[in-house]
């Protein structure tokens, strides 16, 4: 995948990840649906892992991602 497509995909994943935070908070406030919350948290974790993987790939290509991933 080329860098610009990877960066676009990364930004979409970040948006989905943030949206899941909102969904989880709203579910926790409104009513207690443990299965739905667990499903959303699992999906959120998957997105974070995918974001991390793409950031690592972009960093290896010399692209600054300004995201979850950083090198010391």
pLDDT classification of 72: cutoffs 50, 70, 90: very low
Chain position carrying tokens 């409104």: 30
How far is it, in rounded angstroms, from Cα 53 to Cα 3? Answer: 14
pLDDT classification of 43: cutoffs 50, 70, 90: very high
41: Cβ contacts below 8 Å, ≥ 6 apart: 20, 24
**Dihedral of the alpha carbons of 56, 15, 64, 70, in degrees to the nearest 10:** -50
pTM for this structure? 0.56
Q: What phi and psi, each to the nearest 5 degrees, are found at residue 2?
A: -75, 165
Contact 16, 47 (CB under 8 A): yes
């Amino acid at each position: 995948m080329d860098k610009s497509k990877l960066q676009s995909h990364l930004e979409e994943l970040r948006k989905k990840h943030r949206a899941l935070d909102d969904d989880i908070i709203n579910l926790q406030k409104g009513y207690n649906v443990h299965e739905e919350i667990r499903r959303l948290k699992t999906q959120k974790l998957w997105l974070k892992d995918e974001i991390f993987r793409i950031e690592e790939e972009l960093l290896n290509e010399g692209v600054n991602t300004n995201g979850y991933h950083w090198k010391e």
